[in-house]
């Protein structure tokens, strides 16, 4: 059906606030990835879920970053006590078991921390 959706599309937070970013993957896609893209750079891997299991969180930059996917579909990336360096576009991608690793990206959430 529809592609990957993300909300909100834009988020402005004051330094120190907590934020929650949502990702709704393509229906039936078991794999879900979060990436962070700074201005002028390529996306950088944050974390990966297979169904509800978080199998790789090696890219999360600090313990302020937390992700979950409790029912194996929608995922939430939470950032606590936001800092200015957290300002970036947060991209969600999903992939199907039938594919050989091709990932399809959502529109992203642009986070600006003031």
Partner 1 sequence: QKEVEQNSGPLSVPEGAIASLNCTYSDRGSQSFFWYRQYSGKSPELIMFIYSNGDKEDGRFTAQLNKASQYVSLLIRDSQPSDSATYLCAVGRSGAAGNKLTFGGGTRVLVKP
For binding to partner 1 (CB under 8 A), which residues are involved? 30-31, 33, 35, 40-45, 48, 50, 55-56, 59, 89, 91, 95-97, 99-108
The distance of closest approach from Cβ of residue 84 to partner 1 in the complex, given in angstroms and rounded to an integer, is 21
What tokens does 69 get? 């996917």
In 41-108, where do the E strands start and end? Answer: 44-50, 53-56, 65-68, 75-79, 88-95, 104-105
In the bound state with partner 1, the residue whose beta carbon lies nearer, of 58 and 84, is: 58
The distance of closest approach from Cβ of residue 6 to partner 1 in the complex, given in angstroms and rounded to an integer, is 9
Whole-angstrom Cα Rg for the chain: 13
């Amino acid at each position: 059906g529809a592609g990957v959706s993300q909300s909100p599309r834009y988020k402005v937070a004051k330094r120190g606030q907590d934020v929650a970013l949502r990702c709704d993957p393509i229906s039936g896609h078991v794999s879900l990835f979060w990436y962070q893209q700074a201005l002028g750079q390529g996306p950088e891997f944050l974390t990966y879920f297979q169904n509800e299991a978080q199998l790789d969180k090696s890219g999360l930059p600090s313990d302020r970053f937390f992700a979950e996917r409790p029912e194996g579909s929608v995922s939430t990336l939470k950032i606590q006590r936001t800092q200015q360096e957290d300002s970036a576009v947060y991209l969600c991608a999903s992939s199907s078991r039938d594919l050989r690793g091709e990932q399809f990206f959502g529109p992203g959430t642009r986070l600006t921390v003031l």
